[in-house]
Chains A and B, each alone.
Chain A
């Protein structure tokens, strides 16, 4: 039981972080706070993916002794110990996800600026009242 908690509590931490962001997206009225919640949510997902790439005792996926003479390269390609390097695939996918995260953040902040220019507030209920009044 204790071993199970130790080997799984990282996932629970990311879920807690994700739920903080989820709550901020749903319950906060300020649009900028909603955007911050969305970013916390995305960061939690990124941390989760990165944690799946961990191997105990492994190092970053940069091959050691890669450029020690060209004759050895072809031979070394078959001698790579897979357990020695962390899984590179989640890192790559999360690089893409970070780019998408920045893109959504930029568009969301631009939309928030436009809303502020039109309604002179970022509070959701005040914007809704202003829309209903016409």
Chain B
């Protein structure tokens, strides 16, 4: 099992390193990630939201629905944790009775 995992890890790592050969250089200001929509956010966020921190503007204003979904994720995870842990407590209580 360990040998099999090691072989898988080596192959997946090699495939990923092959994939990085086409990646833009580190710190390249003209990389695809920094050219399409992020200049718009940087230029217009102060005018649209009057907030100097662009990360805050994108998180809470431009992508507010994304953040709403994120809070749904956190709520679901919290409810799952509470239900799992409380279910365990109840079952043990019944066992003692």
Contact = CB atoms under 8 A, between A and B. Distances in A.
A114 to B, nearest CB: 5
A113 to B, nearest CB: 7
Given A56-B28, A89-B37, A113-B85, A77 B16 contact: no
Interface string A71-101: 0011011101011010111111001100110
A18 interface: yes
A82 B5 contact: no
Contact of B58 (A63, A76, A92, A107): A92
B55 A104 contact: no
Contacts of A77: 43-44, 46-47
Contacts of A78: 43
Given A53-B34, A85-B54, A26 B9 contact: yes
B97 interface: no
Contacts of B24: 52
For chain A, the bracket of interface size reads 35 or more
What secondary structure prevails in chain A residues at the interface with B?
helix
Given A11-B20, A12-B20, A87-B33, A26 B54 contact: no
Contacts, number: 153
A56 B27 CA distance: 4
Contact of A110 (B5, B20, B41, B81): B81
Interface of B: 1-2, 5-6, 8-9, 12-13, 16-17, 20-21, 23-29, 31, 33-34, 37-39, 41-47, 50, 52-55, 58-59, 63, 66-67, 70, 73-74, 76-78, 80-81, 84-85, 87-88, 92
17 contacts: A11-B17, A15-B17, A19-B12, A51-B26, A56-B28, A58-B29, A66-B46, A67-B52, A77-B43, A77-B47, A82-B38, A89-B37, A92-B58, A99-B73, A103-B74, A103-B76, A103-B77
